[in-house]
Homo-oligomer: A and B are copies of this chain.
Amino acid sequence: MSNDLMQDVVLSSRVRIARNLPDVPFPHAMNDAQAQEIVYNVLNALKQQDQAFSFHPMVSEPPLERQSMVEKHWISPELADNPQKSALLISADETTSVMLHEEDHLRVQCILPGFQGSEALKRATELVKVLEGQMQFAYQEPIGYLTCCPTNVGTGLRVSFMVHLPALALTGDLQKTLDDIRPQGMTIRGIYGEGSSAQGHIYQISNQVTLGVTEEECLQIVETVIREIANREQSARKKMEQEGGYSFQDRLMRAVGTLRYARRISSKEATSLLSLAWLAADMGYWNGLEDGEFYELLISVQPATLSCLKKNQPNEAERDVFRAEYLRDTLKDHA
């Protein structure tokens, strides 16, 4: 499949590497002094980096900001909910980060737009190496790196891709596709962790296995699955266009009309309409946003991220009105 067609389906590539310090209890059991020492060492190590990292101790972030970080996939919901000892360090370009004291002491992460697994793995690995200059990680032959949860032991690596599968959902072939890839060692979640009826037909596909495979092998296995899924999605799009004709186009374009004219809209409705409008743009029915811009907009209209855009904290009803306004404004040059 051409690179362009892959970019239509694959929204982002994420690599996450879990590491822990030897002889220090895991975060749920460690004391404040132990937590602070690790933070101190990590901060020191990152000073060596060319790129500046901003430091966000979770206790000093308001709940709304923490929630917005979850919506942006910078931190996990668990980190947001347990801010006492935890922190986030994130690079100026917002692609590379270190979560401190979630389940593991360190979780190094790189998220890049589109289908860029190798580059994400490269950057995350480099960052881990920088940290290794300052500290030693718990490692045991022949298992590999030790982690809090046994599912991460070995490489500590989780490779995930965010994929947009609206046509498979519309043709009803989505469930079969997801069932087909599960036995290949994949975990499937919605964009915000929910089940198979994911918001906006967006799914996170990631590896389950971290033991007995190298990092490169793991990436290759997941990428093969992603290519297969993207192929099926593209076939479903062609099928919808051929068989659905005007009815298909009508469904997608009405979503555009609603996004451009609604005066109040919930995040759930906005997410699912954006998914259809996005497909309309991919199909060439509409001069919409670029793929990356769509994904960004989809995250911007989530409750906490949207609220952070507004000075005075809006209640839910005001937020629905502001969301509609924000959508109209963002899409105003895309008739």
Query: Which listed residue, B247, B249, B264, touches A247 by the CB 8 Å rule?
Result: B264
Q: A263 at interface (Cβ–Cβ under 8 A)?
A: yes
Q: Within 8 Å of chain B (Cβ to Cβ): is A108?
A: no
Query: What is the count of identical protomers in the complex?
Result: 2
Assess the A256–B264 pair: CB atoms within 8 A. no
Are the CB atoms of B250 and A257 closer together than 8 Å? no
Interface 0/1 of A191-225, CB less than 8 Å to B: 00000000000000000000000000000000000
Tell me, in angstroms, the Cα distance from A258 to B321 when the chains sit together: 19
Closest to A251 in B: B263
- Apart from A246-B263, A257-B260, what 9 extra A-B contacts exist at CB < 8 Å? A249-B263, A250-B262, A250-B265, A253-B263, A254-B258, A256-B257, A257-B258, A257-B259, A257-B261
Which of chain B's residues have a CB closer than 8 A to the CB of A321?
246
B260 A261 Cβ-Cβ under 8 A: yes
Digitize A244-283: 1 where CB-to-B-CB distance is under 8 Å, 0 elsewhere: 0011011001101111111111000000000000000000
Residues in B with CB closer than 8 Å to A260 are 257, 260-261
The interface size bin for chain A is 20 to 34
* 10 nearest A-B residue pairs (beta carbon): A257-B261, A257-B257, A250-B263, A249-B263, A253-B261, A250-B264, A246-B264, A246-B263, A257-B258, A246-B321
B-chain residues with CB within 8 Å of residue A335 when the two chains form the complex = 335
In the complex, what residues of B have CB within 8 A of residue A317's CB?
246
Tell me whether A324 is interfacial, beta carbon within 8 Å.
yes
Min C-beta distance of A12 to chain B, whole Å: 28
Bits for A22-64, please: 1 = Cβ < 8 Å to B, else 0: 0000000000000000000000000000000000000000000
Residues of B within 8 A of A258 (CB): 254, 257-258
Could you write out 7 A-B pairs with CB less than 8 Å apart?
Answer: A253-B262, A254-B257, A254-B261, A254-B262, A257-B261, A260-B260, A335-B335
